[in-house]
């Protein structure tokens, strides 16, 4: 059956539906779906290289050198041994961290680098070759060549003689190739001086000496270069690439759809092996669900239905192989539902599930969380998961470095923010000040905080939690998560002698605090005179606070303000 073919092909992918030829008994054979690229599969070696570069950019050139060494390639003769040997090198030389090795394997499994390599080939075949073929001495069959300031250099000796005649004349030449998005430039000590592109089929024997020489030039002459891939001459005859990580929907829209069974037409696109893998997955999982019995779907009562989700969760959690159990149950739940319901729900599992739903809301929607953040359904695919996993890993790495030397990290961060070399910008919103008060003395800090979300009783009484999970939850527009932590601090530098300042403190700020706005408010007396009112009121405020506490201080301002209002003339001016 070819059902969705033309439509999907138009977005660049060909999809073929293949049915199993190994029909078992009388039941109809299952439909297997696989998606293939319209282009030929790129060499595995390049996929490995590109995928490693995504995890760790610096590892690209060292690994390139190792994987293209003749001694390495002579051992790795099959794709399987190439894969295993490469991973061994990557591991042994710590090109990526242990955690990154897992995402590397996943990205190889879904061939996430293949489109990028195809972009190299596309660039070469549809732009570089037609463009250069206009020149008389261009050889399109040359498997490894350097774009030397507009000239194709296919012979290493020729390149060496160009270099020996001096590189100075090429500095700043307009004939230098432009750097593109897909370039991974080998850095050199001298920036932006000399740049060239090596076009190569990295599996060609000519590649290694060329690349070695260019690397030497980078070290000795500051010549930077980038590698762009050329397809091997027999590339087009390679098989297409089976893609993993995509889903497909089989939609029969019309009941009188004319189905032509063309399953025996010989399109066996690796289907048997995928059947084998599925069988293997099933047999490896010790599922104990009595597979051999004839499937009998018994209806559930309404009461049983209610607890089904939790029962399934318990079954999966307690399985020796939870992932396979989950896959198995979700693939054929009606078959197993009664068995799954049999054991009692354990109280700790019940407890954990209710705690979790208290955090995340009790609505009935299905959701997936990764480190506490919700992944929307439409983004639930391996490519996006890979991106999120990498981002989370990077964040965790950063936290680890921060925590290892918290003092240092904070100080460096602060220095960065208030770097004196940063000139005052026109818009003050971009200027950052460090408002933390480090002048603790026997009188306490000069900053007066009106509230403390982490200790004040009013936030406990209001039932606020301490968990930072709430920060992950989408908040209503204009509202902040209610957490008992001082995670937003607002400091007001005020001339306390001005009635407007007093007004601000005793009405607005005090109001915000009373109405549980989740911000910590602080007041810093602003003193500009030698011995003026600003200094005197600030000292008074300090004195009252130290002796009688914050409430007395606020009362003091209320009274002064009241007195001040009495002094107002009807026209608003002070007497």
Ligand X SMILES: *[C@@H]1O[C@H](CO)[C@@H](O)[C@H](O)[C@H]1NC(C)=O
> Which residues form the interface with ligand X (CB under 6 A)?
56, 58-59, 62, 93-97
Question: In angstroms, what is the minimal distance from the CB of 63 to ligand X?
Answer: 7
Q: Looking at beta carbons only, is 21 or 94 nearer to ligand X?
A: 94
CA atoms within 13 A on the CB side of 243: 21
- Cβ distance to ligand X smaller for residue 139 or 397: 397
Number of helices (H), then strands (E), in the chain = 23, 13
Cα end-to-end span (Å), the chain: 95
**Shortest Å distance, C-beta 66 to ligand X:** 10
Provide, rounded to whole angstroms, the least separation between the CB of residue 191 and ligand X: 21
* 8 A C-beta contact, residue 311 and residue 341: yes
Of residues 394 and 543, the one with the C-beta less far from ligand X: 394
Quote the DSSP letter at residue 474.
P
Burial status of residue 119 (CB atoms within 10 A of its CB: 0-12, 13-18, 19 or more): middle
List Cβ neighbours of 34 (8 Å cut-off, separation of 6 or more).
15, 16, 18, 242, 243, 269, 270, 271, 274
With respect to ligand X, which residue has the nearer C-beta, 62 or 465? 62
Q: 56 or 498, CB closer to ligand X?
A: 56
Residues 6+ apart with CB under 8 A from 313: 349, 353
Task: With H, G, I as helix, E, B as strand and everything else as coil, classify residue 136.
Answer: coil
Alpha helices (runs of H) in 250-346, residue ranges in sequence order = 271-284, 302-306, 308-318, 322-331, 333-341
Closer residue to ligand X, CB minimum distance, 92 or 292: 92
- Grouping H, G, I as helix, E, B as strand and the rest as coil, residue 180 is coil
Considering the complex, state which of residue 97 and residue 489 has its C-beta at the smaller distance from ligand X.
Answer: 97
Nearer to ligand X, 97 or 498 (CB): 97
Q: Judge contact between 190 and 63, C-beta under 8 A.
A: no
For residue 90, give Cα distances in angstroms to 53, 185, 392: 11, 20, 22
């Amino acid at each position: 059956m070819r059902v969705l073919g033309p439509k999907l092909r138009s977005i660049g992918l060909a999809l073929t539906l293949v049915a199993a030829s190994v029909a078992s008994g009388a039941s109809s054979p299952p439909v297997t779906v696989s998606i293939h690229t319209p282009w030929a599969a790129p060499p595995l070696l390049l996929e490995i290289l590109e995928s490693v570069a995504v995890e760790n950019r610096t590892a690209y050139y060292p690994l390139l050198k190792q994987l293209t060494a003749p001694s390495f390639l002579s051992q790795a003769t099959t794709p399987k041994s190439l894969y295993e040997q490469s991973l061994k090198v990557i591991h042994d030389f710590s090109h990526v961290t242990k955690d990154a090795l897992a995402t590397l394997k996943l990205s190889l499994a879904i061939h996430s680098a293949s489109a990028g390599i195809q972009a190299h080939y596309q660039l070469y075949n549809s732009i570089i070759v037609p463009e250069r073929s206009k020149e008389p001495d261009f050889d399109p069959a040359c498997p490894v060549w350097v774009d030397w300031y507009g000239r194709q250099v296919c012979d290493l000796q020729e390149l060496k003689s160009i270099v020996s005649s001096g590189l100075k004349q090429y500095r700043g030449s307009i004939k230098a190739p432009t750097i593109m998005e897909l370039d991974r430039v080998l850095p050199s000590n001298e920036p932006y001086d000399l740049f060239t592109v090596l076009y190569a089929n990295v599996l060609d024997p000519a590649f290694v000496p060329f690349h070695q020489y260019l690397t030497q030039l980078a070290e000795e002459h500051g010549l930077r270069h980038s590698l762009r891939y050329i397809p091997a001459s027999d590339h087009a005859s390679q098989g297409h690439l089976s893609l993993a990580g995509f889903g497909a929907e089989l939609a029969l829209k019309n009941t009188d759809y004319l189905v032509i069974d063309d399953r025996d037409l010989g399109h066996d696109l690796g289907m048997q092996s995928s059947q084998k893998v599925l069988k293997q997955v099933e047999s490896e999982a010790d599922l104990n669900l009595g597979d051999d019995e004839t499937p009998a779907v018994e209806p559930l009562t309404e009461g049983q239905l209610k607890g089904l989700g939790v029962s399934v969760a318990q079954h999966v959690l307690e399985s020796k192989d939870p992932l396979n159990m989950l896959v198995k149950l979700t693939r054929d739940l009606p078959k197993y539902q009664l068995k799954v319901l049999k054991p009692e729900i354990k109280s700790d599992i019940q407890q954990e599930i209710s705690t979790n739903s208290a955090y995340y809301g009790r609505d009935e929607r299905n959701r997936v969380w990764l480190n506490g953040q919700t992944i929307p359904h439409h983004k639930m695919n391996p490519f996006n998961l890979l991106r999120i996993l990498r981002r989370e890993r990077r964040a965790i790495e950063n936290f680890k470095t921060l925590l290892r030397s918290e003092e240092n990290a904070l100080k460096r961060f602060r220095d960065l923010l208030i770097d004196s070399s940063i000139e005052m910008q026109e818009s003050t919103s971009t200027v950052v000040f460090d408002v933390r008060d480090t002048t603790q003395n026997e009188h306490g800090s000069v900053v007066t905080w009106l509230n403390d979300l982490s200790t004040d009783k009013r936030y406990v009484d209001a039932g606020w939690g301490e968990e930072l999970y709430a920060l992950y939850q989408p908040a209503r527009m204009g509202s902040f998560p209610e957490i008992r932590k001082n995670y937003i601090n607002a400091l007001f530098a005020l001339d306390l002698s001005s009635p407007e300042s007093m007004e601000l403190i005793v009405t607005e700020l005090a109001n915000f605090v009373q109405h549980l706005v989740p911000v910590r408010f602080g007041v810093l007396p602003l003193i500009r005179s030698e011995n003026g009112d600003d200094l005197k009121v600030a000292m008074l405020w300090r004195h009252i606070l130290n002796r009688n506490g914050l409430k007395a201080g606020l009362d003091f301002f209320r009274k002064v303000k009241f007195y001040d209002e009495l002094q107002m003339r009807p026209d608003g001016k002070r007497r």
